[in-house]
Structure 1
């Protein structure tokens, strides 16, 4: 006997069922969907080129063969249900214009809600009327604009609302006593309640597997909703609970990757929600207090251990979560000490502290090393650094504003210290000049005699000045981006700073090169000339490499002379083989990671 052949579900039906399941489970639409009847069979009221129509009796007739993505079916079915929930089935003089007005409001509602995807167009609707009735009266006076055509689900030339429809066969579904507006009200209440529960961590996100809401995710959601000090950082970090990844990285409990904004929690550790709060707060403080950037050449593991002692002591004083049962680093004798002081203490007994275990494991730090060692000095690293500092700074202000309780004095001091504004760009540029151009020692010389005294006009007297030859080779090169995108104020500010610092550092001449799509060699200019009116050449495209090559290979330019490259950041990758620095506007980033310093002008 041959085995019976089972017919597989076609693609159109599969996508429709996925959309219907989502809408039926959505807290806002679930009460409406439970009372509506969805008709998807041959011979229903849906037009041939339509998607779905809704009747005043609560029947939603869906095209039985049309293919669409599940996101599109979500939009179509939600659109149909909202006709019932908004009470759109009213008798009007121009039923077609009333239907169009209702379609406009539903399209705008779903677009603002970001639910599903319309089958045609992006669903964007701009309305000036305050209600469907006002929009209907506007259509009656001025006609229906072309941009408001085909916003319904019935197809071109058809209305997707049908009053008093003809019967399409026997039906035992009685919707005569259903209050559709009341169903929508219940759905809105359920949606708000669900949103609060999701934020609090006691309910999974819509469409997510209920099993994924682990204690670590509940703890993370608790920080977002209830603990402003670390809420911003908790919202920006991704929690990874994959035992395979944790075993590969040798993570026994938890670790943090500040560069990737990821926190790894090993589910095999068996932490409960309170313990997860403690562990996550521990990792947040590692990043927020810039422990990775503050190592400053110290042994990474011992520095990590010192920071762990400080953080765990603070968290226990704050009563934040529960200290993990599997252990951690805590020593009451180290209370009140800074991480730097603890490090200086533990390096005297390296053998003992090499055997202690962080949350990652014995001999391993829970601050994962970055993929690129100097990522804190890169453009994006600086942005992350500022982000982490601002998270803790703003969180501290919210903590006190909402009177969330006392915090350890050491933690508050570190956050306040990290919240101080960074060094101004002109101060950093001055340090750069000091590095290459140390002050000249003046000597008594007769090469340029000083003004003679009136009492003894025949006696020449020496004056103080730099010794002969000290100014030789005391210069640097400037490659100035003179493309059309460079702001004139930016050029003036940069040239003014260069002239001022050159004069104060006894730099007699500066080699200047203008560069846009071509190179314009200006030769050596005195700082006084740069400070005066300078005629800029260029204002075309941006190609800086020829200007850099000119200075690097110029025979009249010292081999050890540094370069200062002034650009707005809209340039291609360049190669510089000598000491150099970039001067760019604040907020701009170079399309590459330079080896030299980067100063950002305000």
Structure 2
């Protein structure tokens, strides 16, 4: 990296800011101890690749102390929450916008810390995970979100334009290094949480518990969760090789078996057209990946439309609905028609914002919940996973 020498005492600026952060918040002060700060005159402001936090010393010195703390905390959170690692194949700029919305929402709740001018905010989504915000951004007008050079997520050189200020700042990580980095920050979050609790800071009252939970306890991909449901039946299947979980594969041992899936798609007015297309795409994926299934499809708002008996060769009928949301009709119908001698599960695609039945159904239920939908812990029965 061809950087000019900084013209200020970078180490002194960082040391002072870290001391202030520890005084303002035991949690974030501890988290900051796991970060490594690198001066860089190549970038105009700040950047991180998840390993290092790069800061322009002249820019840092130009800020008042509360904003110095804000830009440091901004980059620390990007790194600790593994935002560069979690990018995967997503569109980098939209992902950076989503990550900024979550991080800046968290910082806004820390007393005595300010963001420099230009930080992105959207209070509607600040409590969500970045994956959820990203999906919501894909469904909305993003023109009002203008990503500045205030900070840069620079995980892969190929993600950056030819003249991007962070291009070449850091090489991409090998898979083993990615895993080590993720373990490093999980340990940091766990230690910071432990210290915060012993200093009367208590539960993370920062509005982004869901985002920290994403790092500490990564969610199993919902397709892998579905596979686990399909083999967890009253008789169970023997000799199941769980190395294949989540790969969209099925085993020879299952070819002679069949499982009925009662699948409900929420078509209420709260489900947008883009989300509905996503639901239909996932339904196609289920039918193509699990040929031993017998699938009964229902569209549901406050009424029930169906059932439609589907397999991989059956055309999927167009969605019906558009009214309010109630989960009761679907489960009432299944209770009335279910053959107890049939191996079966229920799968419900929804945002979770509706009326639940007063008692849980007999069949195991998997809720597949949209980005920004009901908190997974609020589902009264079954298992819930986020569709992101």
> What TM bracket, shorter-length normalisation?
0.3 to 0.5
TM-score normalised by length of structure 2:
0.47
TM-score with structure 1 length normalisation? 0.32
